[in-house]
Structure 1
């Protein structure tokens, strides 16, 4: 019997909602539903029934709930006891991340890991969202933090949305577009553009909304993109996820219309039980994600 299924059942019985339970335990609703069905088959008992407001426990489910909680508590006690023998979490956690998110998410988490769990080891791989998801699916990474691609996740992966960032057109302060309060994709079509490199979500969005964008430079990092814009290479499409250049020569104008924001997601394998070390790192990442907000910036002529 897999104890994580007991955790899923306890959450669903307690919350009365598969959606809320899935969010709490960090899996998709289809995965939660499938695991609950397998748990009921193991017990040969129906635990939940659907209602207009969500799900409710059957009489058997309500009666077994205390035993389910005892099973979960026993596993937690076993894990804590094992950790107590070593004095700290151990193991290696492999995390993938797109470069623009490393400074706002991974850097603070790494600092906490070094102080709170000095015996835990981790590796970080920076790449495009697609490459990170391929590595997670193949088992090369425990999980990844990506900007959500337009295509659905592959069958053995699931994504959990963390937060979103608005899109901006980045222009030199003396450029005609810098005086605008907002811009649409089509208004960028006639200008030379600085894009993030092929394979990134921003590259994909730019080429989706403009049939033939006049891209003069593809940058590997947001810092390079902004530097090229500051020197007059073209207009950039930027998110401000990564800061690092506070250049008075630049103005960021909000982009409006289709897809005005970029979604940031945690991607992980379905139907797999992460190690205790991986769960620790994931919990810290989720905690850090709740603290992240788009940077406030000064926009010429129209405040923040």
Structure 2
């Protein structure tokens, strides 16, 4: 059994097509098909059910795929660790980012990483904090940027606190409370709200603040990203809460007004990475965002 055969199996499984898998692996289809048939013969079981219309994993293929992925990841990690001993950082870096990250300029950090280590290949994914944390803990992501209520802490991962911030009320420019200062949550409780989905860390920040104040509210709209939230607010359908630092760095939110709230929600931004320790590419990226070398070791 060879690593290249495993790569071919993973490619076919992910594309459900031998032609596209061959293109991804930069080989002719006949060579890819031949190697997979050789592997199936060695295993004594078919990994794919092939028809004229589709390719799907068999039960044996479903059982084989997770371990094949792990073997490929382990081989890539071994090569990256060996290269790192002579100062060469390479491999893959997968980064998860919440939509409202503000404590770190992620593109700027990636620019610096790219300049120093051009052989690192990066994948980026946005999502809610709770899912990103789970993906880092499970090894599906190398590093993630989170925003959590001040009462919460990421678990199952290495973590470093980046910043603390208060949320501000965001309103349409012509809203009667636009620009107001020193409001209380009670002054806004009767308004319709737009917020992140129920159960998410982004939503929990505001839910907890209203609960602590003994207030209810009407969340009339749920969205998954801040730009869409801005559109809802801009059309005077609702008001919302967003971190003040994010608002200062988000040009797509221009034309909206804010109001300060004395008992406003707060959040803590974290960067997290997996256990038992980061890959060389992850260490290089964490260093690029300013984390101390001793902390980044994380072993």
Counterpart CA distance in 2 for 1:115 and 1:81 is 16
Map of 1:301 onto structure 2: none
Unmatched runs of 5 consecutive residues or more in structure 2:
1-80, 292-299
The structure-2 alpha-carbon separation of the partners of 1:225 and 1:246, relative to structure 1 and needing over 3 Å to count, comes to closer
Counterpart CA distance in 2 for 1:81 and 1:230 is 50
Q: Is the 8 A contact 1:170 1:235 kept in 2?
A: yes
Which of 232, 235, 243 is matched with 2:250 structurally?
243
Instruction: Output the TM-score relative to the length of structure 2.
Output: 0.61
Map of 1:263 onto structure 2: 268
Map of 1:129 onto structure 2: 129
| Cα distance, 1:135 vs structure 2 | 0.8
| Cα distance, 1:128 vs structure 2 | 0.6
Which of 174, 195, 219 is matched with 1:215 structurally?
219
The structure-2 alpha-carbon separation of the partners of 1:104 and 1:265, relative to structure 1 and needing over 3 Å to count, comes to closer
Q: Is the 8 A contact 1:206 1:213 kept in 2?
A: no
The structure-2 alpha-carbon separation of the partners of 1:206 and 1:273, relative to structure 1 and needing over 3 Å to count, comes to closer
Instruction: Output the TM-score relative to the length of structure 1.
Output: 0.60
Counterpart CA distance in 2 for 1:274 and 1:238 is 31
RMSD over aligned CA atoms reads 2.6
**Structure 1: 4+ residue segments shifted above 4 A:** 78-81
Q: Is the 8 A contact 2:178 2:257 kept in 1?
A: yes
Q: Is the 8 A contact 2:195 2:221 kept in 1?
A: yes
Counterpart CA distance in 1 for 2:197 and 2:97 is 16
Map of 1:163 onto structure 2: 163
Question: Does 1:151 pair with 2:152?
Answer: yes
Counterpart CA distance in 1 for 2:113 and 2:274 is 23
Q: Count residues in correspondence.
A: 203
CA distances 1:142-195 after superposition (whole Å, capped 9, x unpaired): 2211012443433x3242110123211011222221152132222221111111
Unmatched runs of 5 consecutive residues or more in structure 1:
1-77, 288-304
Which of 86, 91, 95 is matched with 1:83 structurally?
86
